[in-house]
Amino acid sequence: MNSIAWLLLAVFLPVVCGIVILFLPGTPKRNQLIGVSLLSLAVSMLCAFAVVLGGETKVCLLRFGGSLEVYFHVDGLGKVFAVVITLVWLMAGIFSCEYMKHEKEEKRYFGFYVLAYGILMALCFSGNLVTYYMFYEMMTLMTFPLIMHNKSREAIMAGLKYLFYSLCGAYMALFGIYFLNRYANTLNFVPGGGGLAADGHTTLILVVVFLMILGFGVKAGMFPMHAWLPTAHPVAPAPASAVLSGLVVKMGVLGIIRVIFYVTGPDVIRGTWVQTAWLTLSLITVFMGSMLAYREKVMKKRLAYSTVSQVSYILFGLALLNPEAMTGSLLHVVFHACIKSCLFLSAGAIIYKTGKTHVDELNGIGKEMPLTIWCYTFASLALVGIPPASGFISKWYLAGGALESGIAVFSWLGPVILLISALLTAGYLLPIAIRGFLPGADYDYAGLKKKEPSGFMVVPLLVLAGCSVFLGVFPNPLTQYLNGVIQTLF
């Protein structure tokens, strides 16, 4: 089969499978449902791997109006995102098999879960802004049912908040696309930007680009439009939170990368107020997210604030517009996806086995579920940036890039804020592990019951925690690949 067929299969097979699962008659048996879902995920993932291993594939599917087309183009950046998504999606999927036992209406959950995977693949492989925008909106709609899964009033309100924020962001992006369609040479993604024909409209273009950054920034949880994350995560099922926080928010990042580095080109905003504003907003978000996480007591909400903060590390690196910082950003995309999904899944395992959601209740949890909390601990250390775990590597590049950039104030303020945020990260993640493993001398060892969850939960945790450490110890292949991608952009 040729590569185009693989590409189409990778995108549309999960979509079709998802729809089929959704419309399965009656309530299917649990094992069958899980079997079908995992099988369709696995097959789609094999297709996705075939695409990733193949070369640069381009295919134009549809053309509406004169110039608008649905166009796929597999490039290096998309492949990185696709691999990360595939890995984490699979792990969270396996985790769901066990976790969803205590939720109802699994059919709907698995249907949308499989479907959304296809949409995310489409986003990775989109070849122009129009296609990207189309699937971006679709992603919002397809992940919405995952958030409001348990249909409590709270969940529905959270889902609606997610929907409104996302739509608001998407419209800002759409607004930008209108203008870029007029002024950009092409809406197709060209490494380094296809160039603009907008002499005399500099201000307009800057405003438009800024709006697009803000718009895609909504998904990425950038201040001021981050508030959907801490609302949506605590109510969603844990594996859904994991993919939401680990992957879906990254699609906002991908959107920004595509606009800045593949359509307009980084030089358009270099040194302008847009860059300054972007840097400022991302740094505010980094600090604010960590601070709020530090003060938050509900575990999943704390992790959600943490995501707000961490994704803005990535945005900060992008906003610096230099290769070294961008390496840091893309590394952090990969690392954060593994780490944060591991953290959310361990929070899920704790909820599933003990029903505890509050961090103060977790005393001695490490004695009850040692493997789970070990995974949590390693992921936490990686997120704080303790070498040799992975977060350290990305922060090294980010700080190096910031100092390298020489932008007044930000070149030193950036690293300082990153480090303060790292300190706060240690402050909000490590006490859970510490209290878990060192419950105090008065801990009741006699009443200790082992509550380690089954393999369906532990194996994904081990894999993700392993990745977050392993990628830090041996980052060079990944770094080199990313450098190859980044070199084409500057």
Partner 1 sequence: MENERILLAVAVFFPMVAGIVSYLIGRKSKKLRDGAVSLAAILEFAVMVLIVARHGALGASCTVPGVCGFGLHFTVDGFRALYGAIAAFMWMMTGLFSEEYFAHYRNRNRYYLFWLITLGATEAVFLSADLYTTFIFFEVMSFASYVWVAQDERKESLRAAATYLAVAVIGGLVMLMGLFLLYHQAGTLTISELYDACRGKNVYLAAGCLFFGFGAKAGAFPLHIWLPKAHPVAPAPASALLSGILTKTGVFGILVISCRILFHDALWGTVVLTVGVLTMVVGAVLALFSIDFKRTLACSSVSQIGFILTGIGMQGLLGEENALAVQGSFLHMMNHSLFKLVLFMMAGVIYMNLHKLDLNDIRGFGRHKPLLAGIYLCGAMGIGGIPLFSGYVSKTLIHESIVEYIELLREGAVTPVLLGAGSMKLVEWAFLISGGFTVAYMCKLFFAVFIEKNSNPAVQEKYDAMNGNYMSKKSAFALMVGAALFPVMGIFAHATMDRAAEYVKGFFGLRHIHEVSYFSFANLKGGLTSIAIGVFVYLVVGRLWMIRKEENGDTTYVDYWPRVLDLEDYVYRPILLKALPAVCGAACFVLDNIVDVIAKILPIVGSVGASFLDTFIDTIVVFLRKTVYKDSPQPKELLEGNALTYQLGNFVNHVVGVLNKTAWRDRPNEKDYTHQYALAYTSFKENTSLIGRSLSYGLILFCVGLLATLVYLLLVLIGIM
- One-letter identity of residue 149: H
277 or 386, CB closer to partner 1? 386
Cβ at position 422, least distance to partner 1 in Å: 6
Nearer Cβ to partner 1, position 74 or 384? 384
The span from the CA of 432 to the CA of 450, in Å, is 18
Q: Cβ of residue 15: shortest distance to partner 1, in angstroms?
A: 33
CB-CB contact of 405 with 321 (8 Å) = yes
The nearest distance, CB 441 to partner 1, in angstroms, is 5
In order of 10, 61, 125, 135, 162, the CA distances from 118 in angstroms are 7, 16, 11, 10, 20
Cβ neighbourhood burial of 64 (10 Å; 0-12, 13-18, 19+): exposed
CB of 410 to partner 1, least distance (A): 14
- Tokens for 43, please give them: 């097959």
> In whole angstroms, how far apart are CA 346 and each of 131, 221, 238, 447, 470?
35, 22, 9, 23, 19
Q: Are 357 and 299 in contact (CB under 8 A)?
A: yes
Residues that bind partner 1 (CB under 8 A): 223-227, 230, 284, 287-288, 291-292, 294-295, 381, 384-388, 392-393, 396, 399-400, 403-404, 415-416, 419, 422-423, 426, 430, 434, 438-441, 443, 445, 472-476, 479
In the bound state with partner 1, the residue whose beta carbon lies nearer, of 189 and 210, is 210
| Nearer to partner 1 (CB atom), residue 42 or residue 438 | 438
Please say which residue, 194 or 401, places its beta carbon nearer to partner 1: 401
Q: Identify which of residues 53 and 434 has a Cβ nearer to partner 1 in the complex.
A: 434
Q: How far is the CB of 349 from partner 1 (least distance, A)?
A: 22
Q: What are phi and psi of 443, to 5 degrees?
A: -70, 140
Instruction: Give me the phi and psi of 482, to 5 degrees please.
Output: -65, -40
Question: Quick one: 70 or 389, whose CB is closer to partner 1?
Answer: 389
DSSP for 214-246, please give it: HHHHHHTT-TTS-THHHHHHHHS-HHHHHHIII
Smallest gap from Cβ 424 to partner 1, in A, equals: 9
DSSP letters spanning 437-490: H---TT--STT----PPPHHHHHHHHHHHHHHHHHHHS-HHHHHHHHHHHHTT-
* Minimum CB–partner distance for residue 215 and partner 1 (Å): 14
Q: At what angle do helices 323-354 and 455-473 cross, to 10 degrees?
A: 160
For partner 1, the closer of residues 39 and 473 by Cβ is 473
Give the integer Cα–Cα distance in Å for 5 and 215: 33
Shortest distance (Å) from residue 394 CB to partner 1: 10
Least distance (Å) from partner 1 to the CB of residue 447? 15
3-state secondary structure 238-305: HHHHHHHHHHHHHHHHHHHHHHHHHHHCHHHCCCCHHHHHHHHHHHHHHHHHHHHHHHCCEHHHHHHH
**Which of residues 191 and 427 has its CB atom nearest to partner 1 in the complex?**
427
CB 332 → partner 1: shortest distance, Å?
14
Of residues 104 and 295, the one with the C-beta less far from partner 1: 295
Q: Where are the alpha helices (DSSP H) in 54-194?
A: 76-99, 106-125, 129-147, 153-183
